[in-house]
Amino acid sequence: MKRLNGKSAIITGSSKGIGKAMAKVFASEGASVLVVSRHQEAGDKTVSEIRQAGGEASYFRADVSRWGDVSAMVSAAIDRYGKVGILCSNAAIFPSTFIETMPIEEWEQVLSVNLTGTFFAVKACFPAMKQQHHGRIVLTSSVTGPHTGFPGWAHYGATKAGMLGFMHTAALEFAKYNVTINAILPGNIHTEGMDEQGEDFIRSMEQSIPMGKLGDPEDIAYAALFFASDEAKYITGQTLIVDGGQLLPESGLALSLANM
């Protein structure tokens, strides 16, 4: 029995990277997936790959920072699949600029997409989940913000930490309707965005991870699958760090001793 048979899932930011892996894994587990992205060509490619593998998916173009787009996204999911059982709020941007030189517009854009976009997606999906007295919401947060900082990502870290504050209250408000909300906190995952940082950045990140390698997008997708499944029906308002042990060493010395 596939874990998501008969369920529908909206996955934002799912034309590439972690979101694409979520879409593929969820579809392979029986879910009908609405692939949501601003990038139609990449979104259509994701849908095609899912269908070729025997899964069910369709594409919807939306900018999660726009309420009208997000509201239409939920309507499309209900029209196509009859319900909204699962939401993975995954869409995010992460430009890199130090605070001193950061334009106000860049700060506002990152908050609009990453944090307000999460609020919009959750708010839009909740009425349908409340009506059917069932729902699973999974947020893609990060270790950056809730646990660590990285120069240039003050706005990104703020949004990822903010998502967890939002989640805690949402979990309280939704629990009586059998709607859960949890978050995955990825460490360094080998996505297209990571490739854009260059080989030197990737090598330096690998050296800080006890397992000695970056994670795969599927590592995050399978963690999200757990939260979206009935196996996690009694878990809400919680976080799961998926980082290859990156946060464990208290210093570079600890990591060096572990690798001896």
CA 170 to each of CA 31, 146, 150: distance values in angstroms, whole numbers, following the listed order: 24, 17, 28
CA 42 to chain centre: 17
- 37 Cβ contact partners less than 8 Å away, ≥ 6 residues apart: 12, 13, 14, 15, 16, 19, 43, 46, 59, 61, 62, 91
Beta strands in 95-156 (DSSP E): 135-140
| Rounded Cα distance, 26 and 225, in Å | 7
| Rounded Cα distance, 33 and 13, in Å | 12
59, 81, 156, 234: the catalytic one is: 156
Q: Which helix or strand (DSSP H or E) is residue 240 part of?
A: strand 239-242
**CA-based nearest residue to 163, from 143, 141, 180:** 141
Does 156 qualify as catalytic in the annotation? yes
Catalytic residues: 156
